[in-house]
Structure 1
Amino acid sequence: MSGNKIWVAALVALCLASCTTKKSTVLRSPSSGQGEQQTAVTKPAVDKETTIAKVGDVQNVNGHAVKNNRIALLLPFELSGIAGTITKEDVQRSSLALDFYQGFQLGLDKIAKEGALFDLQVIDSRDNVAYNATLGTAVNVKDAVLVVGPVYPREIKSFGQTFANKNVLQVSPLAATMASEFSLPNLVSITPSIRTHSETLAKYVADQYYTGDQILVYDAGDDESKQFLVNFVSEISKANAQAKVKTVYNLAELDNSLVLTGSNHIVSGTANKNLVKALLDKMDERFLNPGNQFKLYGHPNMAKLSYENFENMDFYGLTITSSNLVNESDSDTRKFIGNYKSAYKVDPSEFSYKGYDAALYFGRLIHKYGVDYVSRMTQDKFSGLNSDYKFEFYPKWGYANRALGMMVYHNKKFERK
């Protein structure tokens, strides 16, 4: 058998096993629109008289019957395409789904030991917009207490438009698309948008500013810069009215704007390899001159670049925001890696961690609060192996995760600050 066919055979076996009821013991580029600038609303926790409900009971939630331990997991396994030609893109999409599912299942297995038992319905969303619209009324989905998926933006919208019970949350597990693009008040966007990254970094840079410093925002004019730097300068000024900040559009302008009285805080709106190389070359050139001090900040995608040929990087302290915060030396992380390899014979991917964290957070929330878990979304924060959650509620487009970590480049790698 070819490598693809062997992989698909394994996928079929795992998915057919998982698509039965189990008692558990991006994604596109985000928009540069206004999005999350709408004011978030605090939803107070709802105190109700305690009613004793058994695990698996069907309860009424605003006129809709909900099975209090059923979770529907909608992922693009694309099993319907196995009989045809398998492309590299098909394998990647299916691998994403499989990794997320396996991590999610391990998360449910962990909290099962705490007494939280769930009826997990694993459903192939087929990476098909029309099919996802039909899933909103499917028998094993419509009475779920939580829906995780679909994954891709068009399918998120098509499913959300037919899923009638807006008192049950629909989790967007991976898409970084602005929540405002969906207009679904029960949507939970786990992945922070580029706007959240931008606002978080702007506030951080403003906090690093001291009298005599200069903040230089480098706008290279590419798409990444346009998305990331929207309102960046105004966010800095909002956080620190005393900050001296200037936007520069080329390296010559940046060179002429440097100060010797303090630190030059340089913010790169681009993660383009060639543009970043040119920026670092210019910084290295000026760094050799006495009196020039630099601190570098940038687009989160700068984490994907290699800096091995730039010997001054530790002096610049490149700092970025990140929603992927895995620390492989952490004891809980090492234990998860061991359990994952034992169960699935492979190392966990980024999507495996995301699935695991999502299962722990939502599973524990539902186990603790039952069908009223929605009222706790903005109160209960979470710090997982890979992701942190801090949700803000927007009446028109649901819950947006605003939790990000800061990563600093040191000793040839990024470390959590």
Structure 2
Amino acid sequence: MILVQNLRRLLNGSKCLIGLSVLVWLVACTPKVRVLRAPGSKEPTQKTETPTEKEDAVAKPAGKEAVDFNQIALLLPFELNKANQHAPSAVDIKRSALALDFYQGFKVGLDVLSAEGANFKLNVLDTRDDAGENARIAKLEEVREAALVVGPVYPKEIQVFGFNAQLDQTLQISPLAASMPSEFNFSNLVTMTAPLPVHVRALATHIAGQYKQGDVVIFYQTPDEASKQLLTPLRTELRKLKNGHIQVVEVEDEDGLGSRVHLGGKNLIVLATTNKYEISPILAQLQRLQEELSYDIQLFGHPSWSKLGFDADDGLAAFDTRITTSYYIDKNAADVRRFDQQYRNEFGIAPTEFAYKGYDAAYYFGSLLVKYGPDYRSHLEETAYRGLHNTFKWEYNAAWGYVNNAISILQYGSGGFRPIN
């Protein structure tokens, strides 16, 4: 049974906007799950629980009487204080879109667990993307009594909320920010989006695996910040591998590239700019070097390249171009198609990236809460997850909490980037 209070208003025939104060009560409890996967990829074994077993599953530990281990607080920047509550405009909807999409995906994730017999109470709070509001929310009963806090999403909100909330053993999930968790230093923080240093380590390991004697790694330096942030630590990581025997050279322009490529082995070129106008002429030069002069070239790019909209004319496929990623959506997978249909049926629109992220967060952490109750935190590192969008593999640091270290390698082909591992 699901009770929804002041939940949403239909806009323009399809888009929903959540009301200013949202309190969602989801009633239910889930079967025991050992290996967590998105529903459809592997069905868990159902188990019917007696009322006594259900009460035991949510029992409060000594000294934490205020915590309800069925209760989740979801903190998202709807910014409804800026919206016209009687006739929301297109601007109002756009402002709330990220938060709304994540919430709707989160709700579907809890609905799936509810259908399996789960029991949750979800409090949805509007952080307004405002530091003062986050400080206020941090003191609310809905937060103090929550067993799990998901959000806020923006770095400044995470910092202010975490400082004021004093959550102790309750986990605070950072669902979207790719910031280094050392910026916050909260031991209970869970960073879902792998930060750049995790990508750097994975890329260095992959390049080292491709590298053979006679090859050369070429860093193509561009003046933008994205290039500097990736290439500087990547050089450091590569030095640690293969006993420092990986040859790395740096170039800054076409002349430099033309003078440093060689025919005696493979040229592993790392281009880390995210400026499409910078990338295009460099790709054209690489095509000439490979097609006209027979240089063997493999290209590695920035994680953000998956969103830059390359096409066949850019020539990425010819270089077996690879990037790192912490997420991937396989639109042909049965569980993804099932979610897409359920989402369209309920909300009348196609899910976005943020809806998938919301679903994976709800299903993963909701399953842990049901399975382990008060002890759910201690099982994060041992419980990996491959979902619709995210893969989770946690590494714990006593200073800044749990960081997702699950990175995949994508290779460009057939009009897009696809996993190779």
TM interval, short-chain normalised: 0.7 to 0.9
Check the 8 A contact 1:136/1:163 in 2, yes or no.
Answer: yes
1:245 Cα offset (Å)? 1.7
Check the 8 A contact 1:61/1:371 in 2, yes or no.
Answer: no
- What code does the residue aligned with 1:329 have? N
Check the 8 A contact 1:24/1:109 in 2, yes or no.
Answer: no
1:183 Cα offset (Å)? 1.4
Partner of 2:79: 78
CA distance, structure 2, for counterparts of residue 163 and residue 64 of structure 1? 17
The secondary structure found in structure 2 opposite 1:70 is strand
1:286 Cα offset (Å)? 0.9
- Tell me the TM-score normalized by structure 1: 0.87
The secondary structure found in structure 1 opposite 2:60 is strand
CA distance, structure 2, for counterparts of residue 346 and residue 316 of structure 1? 37
Question: Residues 314 and 77 from structure 1, CA distance in 2 versus in 1: closer, same or farther, beyond 3 angstroms?
Answer: same
Question: Residues 245 and 172 from structure 1, CA distance in 2 versus in 1: closer, same or farther, beyond 3 angstroms?
Answer: same
Are 2:213 and 1:224 equivalent residues in the alignment? Answer: no
Check the 8 A contact 1:58/1:65 in 2, yes or no.
Answer: no
The secondary structure found in structure 1 opposite 2:406 is coil
Partner of 1:321: 324
Moved more, 283-292 or 182-191: 283-292
Check the 8 A contact 1:61/1:167 in 2, yes or no.
Answer: no
Are 2:174 and 1:176 equivalent residues in the alignment? Answer: no
CA distance, structure 1, for counterparts of residue 389 and residue 13 of structure 2? 27
1:116-155 CA distance string (max 9 Å, x none): 2111111111221101111112111111000001111111
Aligned CA RMSD, in angstroms, stands at 2.5
1:311 Cα offset (Å)? 5.9
1:158-197 CA distance string (max 9 Å, x none): 1111212220000011111111111111111101112211
Is there any run of 5+ residues in structure 1 with no aligned partner, and where?
A: 26-50
Check the 8 A contact 1:22/1:121 in 2, yes or no.
Answer: no
Check the 8 A contact 1:300/1:321 in 2, yes or no.
Answer: yes
CA distance, structure 2, for counterparts of residue 405 and residue 176 of structure 1? 16
Check the 8 A contact 2:218/2:267 in 1, yes or no.
Answer: yes
Partner of 1:92: 94
Partner of 1:101: 103
CA distance, structure 1, for counterparts of residue 291 and residue 14 of structure 2? 58
CA distance, structure 2, for counterparts of residue 60 and residue 190 of structure 1? 27
Are 2:260 and 1:257 equivalent residues in the alignment? Answer: yes
- Tell me the TM-score normalized by structure 2: 0.86
1:222 Cα offset (Å)? 1.2
1:383 Cα offset (Å)? 0.6
Identity of aligned residues (%): 36
Partner of 1:404: 407
Runs of 4 or more consecutive aligned structure 1 residues displaced over 3 Å after TM superposition: 5-12, 14-18, 55-58, 60-64, 84-93
Partner of 1:129: 131
- What code does the residue aligned with 1:188 have? V
Partner of 1:138: 140
The secondary structure found in structure 1 opposite 2:287 is helix
Check the 8 A contact 2:283/2:315 in 1, yes or no.
Answer: no
Check the 8 A contact 1:58/1:68 in 2, yes or no.
Answer: yes
CA distance, structure 2, for counterparts of residue 143 and residue 124 of structure 1? 17
1:23 Cα offset (Å)? 2.3
- What code does the residue aligned with 2:96 have? S
1:326-373 CA distance string (max 9 Å, x none): 000001111110111011110000000000001111011111111111
Question: Residues 165 and 339 from structure 1, CA distance in 2 versus in 1: closer, same or farther, beyond 3 angstroms?
Answer: same
- What code does the residue aligned with 2:23 have? C
The secondary structure found in structure 2 opposite 1:102 is helix
Question: Residues 164 and 212 from structure 1, CA distance in 2 versus in 1: closer, same or farther, beyond 3 angstroms?
Answer: same
CA distance, structure 1, for counterparts of residue 184 and residue 91 of structure 2? 25
- Which of 27, 32, 54 is 1:23 aligned to? 27
Moved more, 349-358 or 120-129: 120-129
- What code does the residue aligned with 1:21 have? W
- Which of 280, 284, 289 is 1:277 aligned to? 280
Write out aligned runs for 1:269-308 (5 A): 269-308=272-311
Partner of 2:161: 159
Partner of 1:390: 393
Question: Residues 24 and 228 from structure 1, CA distance in 2 versus in 1: closer, same or farther, beyond 3 angstroms?
Answer: farther
CA distance, structure 2, for counterparts of residue 56 and residue 79 of structure 1? 36
Moved more, 390-399 or 51-60: 51-60
Check the 8 A contact 2:15/2:347 in 1, yes or no.
Answer: no
1:395 Cα offset (Å)? 1.1
Partner of 1:378: 381
Moved more, 258-267 or 348-357: 258-267
- The total of aligned residue pairs comes to 388
Write out aligned runs for 1:348-363 (5 A): 348-363=351-366
CA distance, structure 2, for counterparts of residue 56 and residue 72 of structure 1? 19
Partner of 2:369: 366
Question: Residues 153 and 7 from structure 1, CA distance in 2 versus in 1: closer, same or farther, beyond 3 angstroms?
Answer: farther
The secondary structure found in structure 1 opposite 2:27 is strand
1:237 Cα offset (Å)? 2.5
CA distance, structure 2, for counterparts of residue 397 and residue 93 of structure 1? 30
Check the 8 A contact 1:206/1:239 in 2, yes or no.
Answer: yes
